[in-house]
A and B are shown apart, each in its own frame.
Chain A
Amino acid sequence: MKGAFRWTFLLVLAAFFVIPMLAMARFAFQSVPVVLLTPETLLTGWSIQPILTIFSTPQALSAARVSVLLALFTISLNLVLLIPLAIVTEVKAPRMRPLLTALTLLPWVVPPIALVVGVAATFRTGAPWFLASVYSLVPFYALWAMPFTYRALDAGLQATGAKTLYEAARSMGASLPVIIFRVLLPNMTASIIAAAALTSAMVLGEFAFASLLLKETLPTFMVNFQRSDARAGLALALFVLVVTAISIGLVVRVLRKRGLNVQTTGI
């Protein structure tokens, strides 16, 4: 391919990715109407007031707190469910692997917009108390985070040769808890960090499920907030974007440093 074509292609794509973000930042932080926007007024009217508005809005802070707690609970639940399973599968029962790989694909088949209908049909009528709290979202978020959590843990175990480590520790007389906590888990830190960051990004962005079950999380709050205070709403969206970008960027760094073959795409 010719050099000129390659660089034009890259530049056009770069513009496509950067311009919407700059446009959002401008609306959030510059109070000059688009009609009056000329080269002379381009640098006037900028302020960080919208960010301050967010931090002085109690509902914004409580929605953020809910989302952070949701992320923490989701990560914990997934780690509790999947770490033992991943270890046993790798060390003792490799026969379970294909089954697990297939099961972790299931959340792709049943996306939030489909599962929410099923949950409304079953839990809402059968066990309404269960859906009363906003934290009832945790098990469902855990489902959607499972594919990449399991894959990250599995990649970590395979990369460190968990089976050999297990047998070495065993032959030196280590008990099972010692093997898990002193040998295997310390080797899985990179995987756990990666899974945690990807899960946080997913939880901070999930809208369909929370919105249709009428729960106030950061994304659902954002939509209402933007209607009442357009600029602060955009600033909040930008803030969440930056946090997400940083956490995923961190994952890529950690994974590359450890040479782990984990797809952030979860498939």
Chain B
Amino acid sequence: MIRVGADTRLSLMVAIPFFIFIGLFLIYPTVAIMTSALTPGDTFSLNGLQRALSGTYRQGFINSIALASTSALLGGILGMTLAVVLRSLERPRWLHSTLDSWSAVASQLGGVPLAFAFIAAIGTQGILTKLFSQLGVNINDFGISPTGFWGLVVVYLYFQIPLMFLVSLPAINGLRATWREAAAIMGASASRYWFRVGIPLLTPAALGGMLLLFVNSFAAYATAYVLNPGGALVPLQIRFLLQGNVISGEEDLGYAIVTWVIGLLLLSLFFLTFLQRRTLRWAQS
């Protein structure tokens, strides 16, 4: 008999239900799809994974990665600029708390209501569409319609910018005023300070934030579905396969696509935690 201490027994007592829960509802379904993806027709083969990256599904991955990267890059730049601008403005004070709360709200929006809001703004009957057409500009010519690529980017920016603002704020606030003063005393101009000190210091935080935005938008479903259910994006293709719009025996294809998605997100999160650690090293010191 191994004697177990009271503390260990207590830890096990509270940890076991948690692990059973995670195991049953997260690990079991996930491992089940991955196994099916690797063993189509009950024998091991990489055919399924290969097919999931060919034809229309390959295009789906290309579109989704392009959409997620573009919205992450633009959202990252704009969100971080917002944080820098806000830090440089001492006054008005209400601006700081308002932007802070608003970003917390807007970064969680998305989904169905957001899609509706943009249909009302830039849809074919949208207010901005009409306003610009009266000025003689057709915004659809620039690809800005809720169903086009740039339209989706614009819609996604609505939650990407605030999210980037929130995640980059600690790093921006971590930039010491003394560093800037030190650079100024040694004769560095403001732009020189930014290029030699500010930007190199902020790079890990910026890349980490953008990776988070990438993960956040890659698997976004609701907004894309409401705006354009037939679009060639991975989450919409998964829906198509799941709802049985395929010849029987094709379920494995859905499993293979999901396996790729999980692999991609896992890789992004791995780099994300790595970058976060690099950021924290100086942000907390």
Contacts and interface: CB of A to CB of B under 8 A. Distances in A.
Interface of A: 1, 6, 9-10, 13, 16-17, 19-24, 26-27, 33-35, 37, 81-82, 84-85, 87-88, 92-93, 96, 103, 105-123, 139-140, 142-143, 198, 201-202, 205-208, 211-212, 219, 222-223, 226, 233-234, 237-238, 240-241, 244-245, 248-249, 251-253, 256, 263-265, 267
Contacts of B29: 115, 118-119, 121-123
Interface string B18-53: 100110111011101100100000000000000000
A109 B266 contact: yes
A105 B109 CA distance: 20
Interface of B: 7-8, 10-11, 14-15, 17-18, 21-22, 24-26, 28-30, 32-33, 36, 78, 81-82, 84-85, 88-89, 95, 97, 100-102, 104-114, 116-118, 120-121, 125-128, 130, 157-158, 161, 163, 166-167, 212, 215, 219, 221-222, 225-226, 235, 238-239, 242-243, 251, 254-255, 258, 261-262, 265-266, 269, 272-273
Contacts of B85: 1, 6, 9-10
Contact of A20 (B121, B130, B273): B121
B34 to A, nearest CB: 9
B81 A84 contact: no
A140 B25 contact: yes
10 contacts: A20-B114, A20-B120, A109-B269, A113-B235, A113-B261, A114-B262, A226-B116, A244-B108, A265-B166, A265-B212
B265 A109 contact: yes
Given A10-B85, A118-B29, A109 B262 contact: yes
B232 to A, nearest CB: 15
Given A96-B11, A241-B109, A245-B105, A118 B116 contact: no
B32 A122 contact: yes
Contact of A114 (B22, B158, B167, B261): B261
Given A113-B221, A244-B108, A238 B10 contact: no
Given A139-B21, A208-B222, A264 B30 contact: no
A23 B242 contact: no
Given A17-B106, A20-B120, A85-B14, A240 B269 contact: no
A123 B32 CA distance: 11
A20 B118 contact: yes
Nearest to B85: A6
A110 B262 contact: yes
B7 A20 contact: no
Name the 6 nearest CB pairs between A and B, nearest first: A118-B29, A207-B222, A111-B219, A208-B221, A237-B113, A23-B120
Contacts of B100: 252
Nearest to B104: A264
Contacts of A34: 125-127, 130
B36 A121 contact: yes
B88 A13 contact: no
A245 B126 CA distance: 24
B11 A92 contact: yes
A85 B111 contact: no
A142 B18 CA distance: 11
A119 B33 CA distance: 9
Contacts of B102: 17
Contacts of B221: 112-113, 207-208
